[in-house]
Chains A and B, each alone.
Chain A
Amino acid sequence: MIEVKDIVKVYAGKAVVNVPQLEIKAGESIGLVGNNGAGKTTLFRMVLDLIRADKGEILSKGEAVAGNEHWKNYTAAYLDEGFLIDYLTPEEYLYFIGGLNGESKANVDDFLTTLAEFFNGEILKRGKYIRDLSKGNQAKVGIAACLLQKPELLMLDEPFANIDPSTQIRLKNILKELSSQRGVTTIVSSHDLNHITDVSDRIILMEKGVIIKDIATSSSTLAELEDYFAVGQSF
Chain B
Amino acid sequence: MTSTFISHELKSFWRSKNTGKNIAVRVVMGLLILYLLGSLLVIGFALDKILEEVYKNQDIVAPFCGILLLYYLFDLLLRLQLQELPTLKVQPYLHLPVKRNTLVKYLSAVSMLSFFNLWPYVLFSFFIFKIIAPDSGLAALAFFVAITGLMVFNNYLALYIKRRSNLNGWIFLAVSAVLILVNAGDFLWHLYSIKDISYSFFGRMMTTPALALIPVALAAVMFYINFLFLKANLYLEDLNANKASSYKNSTDYPLLNRFGSVGDLVANEIKLILRNKRPRSALIMGLFFMLYGLFFYPNPAFKNNEGFKVFVGMFMTGIFIINYGQFMFSWQASHFDGILVSKVKFTDFLKAKYMLFTGVSTVAFILTIPYIYFGWRVVLIHFVMYLWNLGVNTTIILFFANRNHRRIDLSKGASFNWEGVGATQLLISIPLLVTPFVLYAPLKYLVNSNVALGVLAAVGVICIALRPFWIKKLEQDFITKKFKLAEGFRAK
A52 at the interface (CB under 8 A from B): yes
Chain A 99-135 interface mask (CB, 8 Å, partner B; 1/0) = 1110000000000000000000000000111011000
Minimum CB–CB distance from B487 to chain A (whole Å) comes to 7
A132–B246 alpha-carbon span in the complex (Å): 11
Chain B 330-356 interface mask (CB, 8 Å, partner A; 1/0) = 000011111011111100000000000
A131–B341 alpha-carbon span in the complex (Å): 20
Q: Are A85 and B247 in contact (CB under 8 A)?
A: no
Kindly identify, within residues 81 to 96 of chain A, every residue whose CB is under 8 Å from any CB belonging to chain B: 81-89, 91-92, 96
Chain A minimum-CB-distance residue to B340: A50
B271 at the interface (CB under 8 A from A): yes
Q: Are B343 and A51 in contact (CB under 8 A)?
A: no
Chain B 248-280 interface mask (CB, 8 Å, partner A; 1/0) = 111100000000110010001001100110000
* Contact A72/B343 with A127-B247, A128-B244 known, Cβ cut-off 8 Å: yes
| Cβ-neighbour of B337 out of A82, A100, A128 (below 8 A) | A82
Point out the residues of chain B lying under 8 angstroms from A99, CB to CB.
Answer: 260-261, 264
Q: Are A87 and B337 in contact (CB under 8 A)?
A: no
| Cβ-neighbour of A52 out of B341, B343, B483 (below 8 A) | B483
Point out the residues of chain A lying under 8 angstroms from B344, CB to CB.
Answer: 100
B310 at the interface (CB under 8 A from A): no
* Contact A129/B483 with A69-B345, A82-B336 known, Cβ cut-off 8 Å: no
A97 at the interface (CB under 8 A from B): yes
Minimum CB–CB distance from B461 to chain A (whole Å) comes to 32
Point out the residues of chain B lying under 8 angstroms from A86, CB to CB.
Answer: 334-335, 410
Point out the residues of chain A lying under 8 angstroms from B271, CB to CB.
Answer: 87-88, 92
| Cβ-neighbour of A129 out of B248, B261, B345, B486 (below 8 A) | B248
Chain B minimum-CB-distance residue to A125: B250
A87–B278 alpha-carbon span in the complex (Å): 13
Point out the residues of chain B lying under 8 angstroms from A45, CB to CB.
Answer: 337
Q: Are A84 and B244 in contact (CB under 8 A)?
A: no
Count of A-B residue pairs with CB < 8 Å:
84
A77–B251 alpha-carbon span in the complex (Å): 26
Point out the residues of chain B lying under 8 angstroms from A48, CB to CB.
Answer: 340-341
* Contact A72/B338 with A87-B276, A96-B264, A100-B261 known, Cβ cut-off 8 Å: no
Point out the residues of chain B lying under 8 angstroms from A21, CB to CB.
Answer: none
| Cβ-neighbour of B411 out of A49, A89, A101, A131 (below 8 A) | A131
Q: Are A67 and B479 in contact (CB under 8 A)?
A: yes
A86–B271 alpha-carbon span in the complex (Å): 11
B17 at the interface (CB under 8 A from A): no
Point out the residues of chain B lying under 8 angstroms from A51, CB to CB.
Answer: 483, 486-487
A50–B489 alpha-carbon span in the complex (Å): 12
Chain B 307-343 interface mask (CB, 8 Å, partner A; 1/0) = 0000000000000000000000000001111101111
The residue among B272, B276, B343 with the most chain A CB atoms within 10 A of its own CB is: B343
Point out the residues of chain A lying under 8 angstroms from B403, CB to CB.
Answer: none
A206 at the interface (CB under 8 A from B): no
B490 at the interface (CB under 8 A from A): yes
A73 at the interface (CB under 8 A from B): yes
Chain B minimum-CB-distance residue to A71: B341
Point out the residues of chain A lying under 8 angstroms from B411, CB to CB.
Answer: 131
Q: Are A77 and B341 in contact (CB under 8 A)?
A: yes
Minimum CB–CB distance from A99 to chain B (whole Å) comes to 5
Point out the residues of chain B lying under 8 angstroms from A73, CB to CB.
Answer: 343
Q: For chain A, what secondary structure do more than half of its interface residues adopt (helix, strand, loop), or is it mixed? A: loop
Kindly identify, within residues 291 to 312 of chain B, every residue whose CB is under 8 Å from any CB belonging to chain A: none
A80–B340 alpha-carbon span in the complex (Å): 13
Kindly identify, within residues 46 to 88 of chain A, every residue whose CB is under 8 Å from any CB belonging to chain B: 48-52, 67, 69, 72-73, 75, 77, 79-88
Q: Are B487 and A129 in contact (CB under 8 A)?
A: no
Chain A minimum-CB-distance residue to B243: A132
Point out the residues of chain B lying under 8 angstroms from A69, CB to CB.
Answer: 345
A92–B251 alpha-carbon span in the complex (Å): 8
A67–B340 alpha-carbon span in the complex (Å): 11
Q: Are A129 and B479 in contact (CB under 8 A)?
A: no
Q: Are A100 and B343 in contact (CB under 8 A)?
A: yes
Q: Are B248 and A127 in contact (CB under 8 A)?
A: yes
A152–B336 alpha-carbon span in the complex (Å): 23
A132–B342 alpha-carbon span in the complex (Å): 23
Q: Are B338 and A49 in contact (CB under 8 A)?
A: no
Minimum CB–CB distance from A190 to chain B (whole Å) comes to 20
Minimum CB–CB distance from A216 to chain B (whole Å) comes to 29
| Cβ-neighbour of B342 out of A72, A79, A87 (below 8 A) | A72
Point out the residues of chain B lying under 8 angstroms from A127, CB to CB.
Answer: 246-249
Minimum CB–CB distance from B295 to chain A (whole Å) comes to 34
* Contact A129/B341 with A82-B490, A85-B335 known, Cβ cut-off 8 Å: no
A96–B265 alpha-carbon span in the complex (Å): 8
Point out the residues of chain B lying under 8 angstroms from A89, CB to CB.
Answer: 248-250
Q: Are B341 and A50 in contact (CB under 8 A)?
A: yes
The 6 A-B residue pairs whose C-beta atoms are closest, nearest first, are: A127-B247, A132-B244, A83-B338, A82-B337, A87-B275, A100-B343
Interface residues of A (CB under 8 A from B): 45, 48-52, 67, 69, 72-73, 75, 77, 79-89, 91-92, 96-97, 99-101, 127-129, 131-132
Q: A50-B341, A99-B261 are in contact. List 13 more A-B contacts (CB 8 A).
A: A49-B340, A49-B341, A51-B486, A80-B337, A82-B335, A82-B490, A86-B335, A87-B272, A87-B276, A100-B342, A129-B248, A132-B244, A132-B248
A-B contact pairs, 16 of them (CB 8 A): A67-B479, A79-B337, A81-B334, A82-B335, A82-B338, A82-B490, A85-B335, A89-B249, A96-B264, A100-B343, A128-B248, A129-B248, A129-B275, A131-B242, A131-B411, A132-B248
Interface residues of B (CB under 8 A from A): 242, 244, 246-251, 260-261, 264, 268, 271-272, 275-276, 334-338, 340-345, 410-411, 479, 483, 486-487, 490
